[in-house]
């Protein structure tokens, strides 16, 4: 191999203003000796063997045309020191060293040596700016050591500005050495700026090094900014360290962790790295193993964790983001909640574990678990092992046979009733203490175990149709329990309260199978209405037979339905049902309120039957003025109705709450078969039963709705 050696008079090294450039015009290997140069320029592909420290004072390293340029400082196994190339710009401290080509796909520069640095020419502090553009830079900075060491080769500068380029760190360290006082870099808040570029670590043990002097550490100088760019840890690598770097990604940028064991934490395990994703950016983990000590802020972006990979991170704020992959996302810093700000969030990473989630702000839409934006389903296990789900400003969609578990609270308490949550068939929600669901369609399974929320007499383990239980503007919502649903509330009687109620408010419709809605003995089924607004009515619609087995009962026929004090309730019965007991509570009379069951309050489809074994307490039956004979029939109340004038637990009133007077505006007729017809207008309708209401002790039967 032929070599050309360029010899420059030493006087030029001392009079650097007159330093000459080095032009590579031959493909033969040349030698570049220690000294000062205005530039190194490659007009053709060629190699320079470096013998000592080279200071480039003016125009930097320029690779023209389609040249493949190379500087080799460790040729023939040479391991001597001082194999630096220091690239400055003139003599001004605020200038920048330059490495540039003619396009990253046509021009390349390979450096094999010790340090390649952006320099402050007057001080040689290696803390200058280094601008790299339109080139592929291959950096192997070491003494040919098999393991990257603390004193290995450095690609180093105070600030890197990289545009339209590819940087391959095949061996060595990406070093940020900043001294704002020395260089005047106060306005350079980001230490690495990638635009339309890729930076890639290709060897295990590589790392990012930060070294600050003066006030540099106080100016967010750990920032690595990506604009339509990629930062890659190559497949097959391991134990790469980022030492507290703060990655900021925007405009479709990608942080691609294909290696394993990446540590984002600060030097010596101190501090946490940060990844902020914005505007279509993506954080991708495809290598086996885990990353650690990282905080992620995801805005309008994607997080992908592949099979075998574990992302140990803290997520403080998420906005309009997607999580995918077959790996695991594990939240750290258990005391820190994750806040959803707006947009929709898709959780489709196979395993996800975190502290708690809080949807905050009216602009947040829906958290999707187990289903993507195109409706594709996937089984996901999502756990709040250290906290709660609190969705006061958003809704849930859980599908794909997924399981969501909260060790504490699980609330779908969306303020906006237009936002409806959905639990798909085959999916399960497990709740450690208590749950409040305002607006939802439930086709899957809900298991509640272990606690109760005590507020304004609710004392609930599970509450349907309520937004707040602690404020007077409690809102009624709509909850539909579908035919595949199953609900289990404190079945093993584990509770912090003997009044951990299964409570409902608003419009609740059940299509569940027989005995599929169950609660333990300390979780009675309580029907409430808004006590601060009596005009709000709770409507319970039963579209299937005997779905409830509550309060520890084995069946609905043995169950007790409790109506709370002052409750305004409507029952709509569209299928044959049996209820063991309805408890109306004596408190109705005490506060002057009534429980209303007129034909506008209790409606049955034709040929369906509602049987109530008994109800306790005092009941007021409110009847309209135009209720005609043949509309209402009551069974099994011989003793009370035959002696109505002396009854003390059953009262019939008009719609204004006044007692009706027998034979004036109230008529009771014995039908001779143990039943009575009751009416308020003495003009009979055709003998066709439409609605039958029955009563204390043994039961009431209703056959069909009034026409």
pLDDT in tens, 88-137: 865 555 568 899 999 999 999 999 888 898 887 666 577 788 999 999 99
Q: What integer is the mean pLDDT of 19-48?
A: 92
Task: Indicate if the pLDDT at residue 598 is higher than 70.
Answer: no
Phi, psi dihedral angles at 557 (to 5 degrees): -65, -20
Of 526 and 592, the one with more pLDDT: 526
Q: Do residues 521 and 498 lie in contact, with contact meaning Cβ atoms separated by under 8 Å?
A: no
pLDDT the model gives residue 678:
81
pLDDT, tens digit, for every residue of 672-694?
Answer: 877 777 888 876 544 443 333 33
642 in any annotated domain:
yes
Task: Indicate if the pLDDT at residue 192 is higher than 90.
Answer: yes
Mean pLDDT is lowest, of 25-34, 402-411, 503-512, 599-608, for 599-608
pLDDT the model gives residue 9:
34
Q: Which among 361-365, 433-437, 604-608 has the top mean pLDDT? A: 433-437
Residue 236 pLDDT class (50, 70, 90 cuts):
very high
Strand partners, 612: 579
For residue 481, the number of C-alpha atoms closer than 13 Å in the C-beta half-sphere is: 29
Q: Which of 563, 578, 593 is the last residue of a domain?
A: 578
Query: Residue 675's Cα: distance from chain center in Å?
Result: 59
Query: Residue 219's Cα: distance from chain center in Å?
Result: 31
Of 447 and 467, the one with more pLDDT: 447
pLDDT the model gives residue 553:
93
Q: Do residues 549 and 523 lie in contact, with contact meaning Cβ atoms separated by under 8 Å?
A: no
287 in any annotated domain:
no
636 and 515 in a single domain? The answer is no
* Per-state percent for the chain, helix, strand, coil, to nearest 5: 5, 45, 50
607 and 552 in a single domain? The answer is no
90 and 203 in a single domain? The answer is yes
Q: Do residues 243 and 201 lie in contact, with contact meaning Cβ atoms separated by under 8 Å?
A: no
Nearest alpha-carbon partner for 371 in 400, 345, 350: 400
* Cα gap 291→309, rounded to integer Å: 8
609 in any annotated domain:
yes
* Cα gap 651→512, rounded to integer Å: 34
Supply the pTM of this predicted model. 0.79
Q: What integer is the mean pLDDT of 477-496?
A: 87
Task: Indicate if the pLDDT at residue 228 is higher than 70.
Answer: yes
* Cα gap 206→167, rounded to integer Å: 14
266 in any annotated domain:
no
671 in any annotated domain:
yes
660 and 574 in a single domain? The answer is no
Q: Is 558 exposed, middle or buried (0-12, 13-18, 19+ CB in 10 A)?
A: middle
Task: Indicate if the pLDDT at residue 450 is higher than 50.
Answer: yes
557 and 608 in a single domain? The answer is no
Task: Indicate if the pLDDT at residue 702 is higher than 60.
Answer: no
Mean pLDDT is lowest, of 20-24, 91-95, 383-387, 617-621, for 91-95
Phi, psi dihedral angles at 119 (to 5 degrees): -120, 150
Q: What integer is the mean pLDDT of 387-412?
A: 85
516 and 646 in a single domain? The answer is no
439 and 571 in a single domain? The answer is yes
553 and 668 in a single domain? The answer is no
pLDDT the model gives residue 161:
95
pLDDT the model gives residue 455:
65
515 and 662 in a single domain? The answer is no
175 in any annotated domain:
yes
Residue 509 pLDDT class (50, 70, 90 cuts):
very high
Give the domain range for residue 17: 1-237
Q: How many CB atoms lie within 10 A of CB 494?
A: 12
Q: Which of 511, 546, 578 is the last residue of a domain?
A: 578
Q: Is 10 exposed, middle or buried (0-12, 13-18, 19+ CB in 10 A)?
A: exposed
pLDDT, tens digit, for every residue of 61-95?
Answer: 999 989 999 998 876 555 555 578 888 865 555 56
609 and 560 in a single domain? The answer is no
Task: Indicate if the pLDDT at residue 336 is higher than 50.
Answer: yes
209 and 108 in a single domain? The answer is yes
* Cα gap 244→541, rounded to integer Å: 57
Phi, psi dihedral angles at 182 (to 5 degrees): -75, -40
Q: What integer is the mean pLDDT of 15-34?
A: 80
Number of domains in the chain: 3
125 in any annotated domain:
yes
* Cα gap 546→573, rounded to integer Å: 11
pLDDT, tens digit, for every residue of 518-533?
Answer: 999 889 998 887 666 6
Q: Report the percent of the chain where pLDDT is more than 70.
A: 73
426 and 519 in a single domain? The answer is yes
Mean pLDDT, rounded, of the chain = 78
> How far lies 74's CA from each of 52, 70, 145, in Å?
11, 12, 11
Q: Which of 180, 207, 237 is the last residue of a domain?
A: 237
Residue 481 pLDDT class (50, 70, 90 cuts):
very high
Of 655 and 703, the one with more pLDDT: 655
Q: Do residues 584 and 615 lie in contact, with contact meaning Cβ atoms separated by under 8 Å?
A: yes
Task: Indicate if the pLDDT at residue 662 is higher than 80.
Answer: yes
pLDDT the model gives residue 139:
94
Q: Report the percent of the chain where pLDDT is more than 90.
A: 34
Q: Do residues 395 and 420 lie in contact, with contact meaning Cβ atoms separated by under 8 Å?
A: yes
Residue 371 pLDDT class (50, 70, 90 cuts):
very high
Residue 57 pLDDT class (50, 70, 90 cuts):
confident
Largest CA distance in the chain: 132
For residue 297, the number of C-alpha atoms closer than 13 Å in the C-beta half-sphere is: 13
Phi, psi dihedral angles at 268 (to 5 degrees): 60, 30
Q: Is 422 exposed, middle or buried (0-12, 13-18, 19+ CB in 10 A)?
A: buried
Task: Indicate if the pLDDT at residue 278 is higher than 90.
Answer: yes
Q: Do residues 340 and 369 lie in contact, with contact meaning Cβ atoms separated by under 8 Å?
A: no
Mean pLDDT is lowest, of 139-148, 263-272, 280-289, 691-700, for 691-700
Q: Do residues 596 and 622 lie in contact, with contact meaning Cβ atoms separated by under 8 Å?
A: yes
306 in any annotated domain:
no
* Cα gap 689→165, rounded to integer Å: 85
């Amino acid at each position: 191999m032929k070599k050309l050696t360029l010899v420059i008079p030493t006087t030029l090294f001392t009079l650097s203003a007159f330093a000459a450039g080095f032009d590579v015009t031959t493909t033969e290997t040349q030698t570049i000796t220690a000294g000062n140069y205005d530039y190194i320029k490659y007009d053709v592909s060629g190699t320079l063997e470096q013998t000592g420290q080279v200071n480039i004072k003016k125009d930097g390293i320029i690779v023209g045309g389609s040249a493949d340029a190379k500087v080799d400082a460790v040729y023939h196994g040479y391991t001597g020191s001082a194999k630096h190339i220091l690239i400055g710009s003139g003599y001004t401290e605020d200038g920048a060293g330059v490495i540039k080509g003619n396009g990253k796909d046509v021009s390349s520069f390979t450096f094999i040596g010790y340090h390649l640095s952006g320099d402050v020419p007057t001080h040689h502090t290696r803390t200058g700016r280094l601008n790299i553009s339109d080139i592929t830079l291959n950096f192997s900075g070491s003494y040919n050591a098999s393991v990257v060491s603390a004193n290995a080769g450095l690609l180093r500068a105070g600030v890197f500005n990289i545009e339209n380029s590819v940087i391959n760190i095949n061996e060595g360290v990406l070093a940020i050495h900043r001294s704002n006082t020395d260089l005047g870099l106060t306005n350079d808040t980001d230490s690495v700026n990638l635009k339309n570029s890729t930076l890639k670590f290709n060897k295990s043990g590589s790392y990012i090094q930060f070294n600050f002097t003066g006030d540099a550490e106080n100016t967010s100088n750990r920032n690595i900014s990506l604009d339509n760019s990629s930062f890659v840890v190559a497949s097959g690598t391991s134990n790469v360290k980022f030492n507290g770097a703060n990655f900021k990604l925007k405009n479709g940028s990608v942080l691609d962790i294909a290696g394993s064991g990446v540590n984002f934490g600060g030097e010596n395990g101190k501090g946490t790295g940060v990844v902020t994703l914005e505007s279509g950016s993506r954080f991708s983990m495809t290598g086996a193993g885990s990353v650690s000590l990282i905080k992620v802020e995801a805005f309008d972006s994607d997080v992908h964790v592949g099979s075998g990979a574990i992302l140990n991170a803290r997520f403080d704020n998420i906005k309009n983001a997607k999580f995918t992959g077959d790996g695991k996302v594990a939240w750290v810093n258990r005391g820190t909640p994750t806040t959803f700000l707006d947009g929709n969030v898709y959780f489709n990473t196979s395993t996800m574990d975190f502290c708690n989630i809080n949807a905050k702000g009216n602009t947040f839409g829906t958290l999707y678990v187990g289903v993507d934006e195109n409706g594709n389903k996937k089984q996901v296990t999502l756990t709040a092992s250290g906290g709660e789900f609190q969705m006061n400003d958003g809704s849930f969609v859980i599908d794909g046979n997924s399981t969501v578990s909260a060790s504490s609270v699980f609330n779908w308490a969306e303020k906006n009733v237009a936002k409806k949550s959905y639990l798909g068939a085959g999916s399960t929600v497990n709740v450690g203490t208590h749950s409040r669901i305002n607006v939802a369609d439930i086709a899957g399974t809900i298991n509640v175990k272990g606690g109760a929320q005590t507020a304004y007499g609710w004392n609930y383990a599970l509450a349907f149709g309520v937004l707040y239980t602690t404020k007077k503007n409690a809102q009624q919502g709509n909850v539909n329990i579908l035919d595949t649903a199953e609900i289990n509330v404190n079945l093993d009687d584990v509770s912090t309260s003997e009044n951990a109620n299964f409570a409902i408010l608003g419009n609740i419709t059940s299509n569940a199978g027989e005995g599929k809605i169950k609660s333990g003995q300390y979780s009675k089924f309580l029907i409430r209405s808004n006590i601060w607004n009596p005009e709000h009515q709770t409507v319970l619609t039963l579209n299937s037979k005997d779905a409830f087995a509550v309060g520890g009962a084995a069946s609905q026929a043995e169950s007790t339905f409790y109506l709370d004090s002052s409750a305004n309730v409507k029952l709509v019965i569209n299928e044959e049902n049996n209820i063991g007991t309805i408890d109306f509570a004596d408190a109705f009379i005490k506060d002057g309120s009534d429980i209303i069951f007129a034909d506008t309050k209790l409606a049955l489809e034709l040929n369906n039957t509602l049987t109530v074994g008994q109800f306790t307490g005092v009941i007021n039956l409110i009847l309209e003025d135009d209720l005609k004979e043949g509309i209402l029939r009551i069974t099994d109340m011989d003793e009370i109705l035959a002696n109505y004038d002396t009854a003390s637990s059953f009262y019939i009133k008009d719609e204004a709450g006044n007692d009706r007077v027998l034979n004036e505006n109230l008529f009771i007729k014995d039908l001779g078969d143990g039943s009575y017809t009751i009416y308020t207008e003495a003009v009979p309708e055709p003998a066709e039963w439409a609605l039958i209401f029955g009563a204390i002790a043994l039961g009431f039967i209703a056959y069909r709705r009034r026409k």
